[in-house]
Structure 1
Amino acid sequence: MTAAASGPTGPADPPLGDAPPLRLSFDGPLAVLTIDRPPENVFDHAMLDCWRHATDWLTRNPPRALLINAHGRVVSTGLDVTILDELSRHGAERFWAEQLDTVRALEGLPCPTVFAAHGLTLTAAFEIALACDFVLATGTARFGLVERRVAFVPSMGGLQRLAARAGRSRAAQLVMSGDLYRASTLADWGVVDSLFDPAIFAEQARAYAMRLAHGPTRAHAATKRVLAAVRDGGVAAADAVQPRISGAVARTEDHRRAVRAFLVQGPRHETVYFGR
């Protein structure tokens, strides 16, 4: 993995090992995490360790946007069930706390995050998608939190994040039924943000993420902080932090340049943002 000059600074490579199941690359200001262990892209210990290392590295070296995609016929068939067999005897609480830390680190990145699902997306992969700002999919992609089949519960934060997007009743329906749901249904529920034709999905997903990467990065980070305050404490909590957040954005170079361009060129100005 080689970071482009406009990408993050810091160490050249996250410690993902040789031929990792998760790869990190850069396309200018856009970071791309690719799940790459076909045919099933299963979330085994190696995959989960890569996610932990990758999110730690991105937290220290934040890009201007992050796209998560997958190689192969499916996005992922989900968690390796042998892990659940191991955890039935010892260490479950600590293990799930560590996985949730990874999800929270992804969710807390100060940049837009986009999950691109071209096919079947189950359990752990779906839970990671729900921690992203935007979920893109083909119309025929299918999603499921199917832990019911092993008498378990989604444990990487997916259940609560699904409830936040779709409501408690629909989250309970999806999890307790253990059924698979088409992306078109989840779009109606507000879980999937945009649907694209499978023939052009990879290009459209990258263009979607790239537009965010070239946007006003500091303003996007501020939007995420305000929305996090709403999530954690409601409108009153967001109101309490809004002046400080907006004051910091007001001092950014991108904001000052865009205001001047608006005053000179009007609302259709095409100011280039540098993320500072």
Structure 2
Amino acid sequence: MRTDFQHVLINFEAGVLTIIMNRPTVLNAFNELMIQEMTEVVEAAAQDETIRCVILTGAGRAFGAGQDLSAFAGEPSANDSEAAQEHLAAYHRLINSILQLPQPIIAAIHGVATGISLNIALACDLRIAADNARLSEAFARIGLVPDGGGAYFLTRLLGAGKALELALLAEEISGTEAARIGLVTSSVPQSGLEETVRALALRLAHGPTRTYGLIKKLFQEAQDKDLAAVLQLEGKYQSMAIETADHREGVQAFMQKRPPKYSGK
């Protein structure tokens, strides 16, 4: 994986890849290049078996301020609708690459997390927010509908009523409130965010990584299925899990009354 990105910083240590959105002077607002670089990093991570867990966060004072609107500040044109679809297609590729990542991915949220930046965090498997983070589905403030999968993620995490409330009112909520309603996994003091996320990432990095990927697939596919279909899916993925070296190691460790040493294979 290359490291010479303009708007993304990466760090790899102890099986954990940290991806840092790096436009701090504009609170990590997305431009076209940062979308491209983020997608490249995530897609490369998916192919790297040495990476056992991924952290996504932002540089400086914020997780991310959404789309950089300066790119859309000009006069309307006849091609705006077509350009918007091309723009969204780039975000959709990034969202799908996060969802399809075989490794667990954790969003570490501090400061502002608004608009598309928030919805990218919602695509992650786990979200840890600083208690004073400020999260918002801000699209309605500028006359837009939530994109980047916002309607999909919000309704599944919160239910239709609360999801619609956040989208219509576009109000900021704190990290503490986000944890209370289930939008994020947990909320911790700002001073402990990095340590908490790092400990969680290391825990996952030492776990049965391939099985985590199968669990992710099972839960994603189960969301729109009835029980009979889910039972078939779990049979499919359990058959795959039982063939892993980590399953064998887990059983042996249990029988020998020792901690397992998972290889991610």
TM-score higher than 0.5: yes
Task: Give the structure 2 partner of residue 154 of structure 1.
Answer: 146
Task: Give the structure 2 partner of residue 8 of structure 1.
Answer: none
Length-normalised TM-score, structure 2:
0.91
Identity across matched positions, percent: 25
Q: Which amino acid aligns with 2:84?
A: A
Describe the shift of the 1:89–1:247 C-alpha distance in structure 2 as closer, same or farther (beyond 3 A). Answer: closer
Task: Give the structure 1 partner of residue 92 of structure 2.
Answer: 100
Report the alpha carbon displacement of residue 89 of structure 1 after superposing the two structures with TM: 5.3
Find out whether 1:273 has 2:259 as its counterpart. no
CA contact (8 A) 1:122 1:145 kept: yes
- Structure 2, unaligned runs of 5 or more: none
Aligned equivalent of 2:83, options 51, 76, 91: 91
- Cα displacement string for residues 95-133 of structure 1 (whole angstroms, at most 9, x for unaligned residues): 212311210111111111100002111112101100001
Query: 2 CA distance for matches of 1:42 and 1:137?
Result: 18
Find out whether 1:210 has 2:197 as its counterpart. no
Matches within 5 A, 1:23-102: 23-39=9-25, 40-61=27-48, 63-85=51-73, 88=80, 90-102=82-94
Report the alpha carbon displacement of residue 70 of structure 1 after superposing the two structures with TM: 1.6
| Residue range with higher mean Cα deviation, 77-86 or 137-146 | 77-86
Describe the shift of the 1:71–1:226 C-alpha distance in structure 2 as closer, same or farther (beyond 3 A). Answer: same
Describe the shift of the 1:26–1:198 C-alpha distance in structure 2 as closer, same or farther (beyond 3 A). Answer: same
Runs of 4 or more off by more than 6 Å in structure 1? none
Number of equivalenced pairs: 259
Q: Secondary structure of the residue that 2:9 maps to in structure 1?
A: strand
| Residue range with higher mean Cα deviation, 171-180 or 225-234 | 225-234
Query: 1 CA distance for matches of 2:101 and 2:81?
Result: 34
Task: Give the structure 2 partner of residue 192 of structure 1.
Answer: 184
Report the alpha carbon displacement of residue 59 of structure 1 after superposing the two structures with TM: 2.8
CA contact (8 A) 2:35 2:90 kept: no
CA contact (8 A) 1:229 1:237 kept: no
Q: Which amino acid aligns with 2:205?
A: A
Q: Which amino acid aligns with 1:21?
A: H
Length-normalised TM-score, structure 1:
0.88
Report the alpha carbon displacement of residue 241 of structure 1 after superposing the two structures with TM: 1.7
Q: Which amino acid aligns with 1:70?
A: G
Query: 2 CA distance for matches of 1:239 and 1:229?
Result: 11
RMSD of aligned Cα (Å): 1.7
Report the alpha carbon displacement of residue 234 of structure 1 after superposing the two structures with TM: 4.1
- Cα displacement string for residues 165-214 of structure 1 (whole angstroms, at most 9, x for unaligned residues): 01111111111111111111111211110111211211111111111111
Query: 1 CA distance for matches of 2:179 and 2:220?
Result: 22
Task: Give the structure 2 partner of residue 110 of structure 1.
Answer: 102
Query: 2 CA distance for matches of 1:197 and 1:176?
Result: 29
Query: 1 CA distance for matches of 2:220 and 2:15?
Result: 24
Task: Give the structure 1 partner of residue 119 of structure 2.
Answer: 127
Query: 1 CA distance for matches of 2:242 and 2:88?
Result: 40
- Structure 1, unaligned runs of 5 or more: 1-11
Report the alpha carbon displacement of residue 84 of structure 1 after superposing the two structures with TM: 4.0
| Residue range with higher mean Cα deviation, 192-201 or 51-60 | 51-60
Task: Give the structure 2 partner of residue 3 of structure 1.
Answer: none
Report the alpha carbon displacement of residue 55 of structure 1 after superposing the two structures with TM: 2.2
Report the alpha carbon displacement of residue 88 of structure 1 after superposing the two structures with TM: 3.2
Query: 2 CA distance for matches of 1:78 and 1:143?
Result: 11
Q: Secondary structure of the residue that 1:91 maps to in structure 2?
A: helix
Q: Which amino acid aligns with 1:242?
A: E
CA contact (8 A) 2:46 2:103 kept: no
Query: 1 CA distance for matches of 2:89 and 2:207?
Result: 34
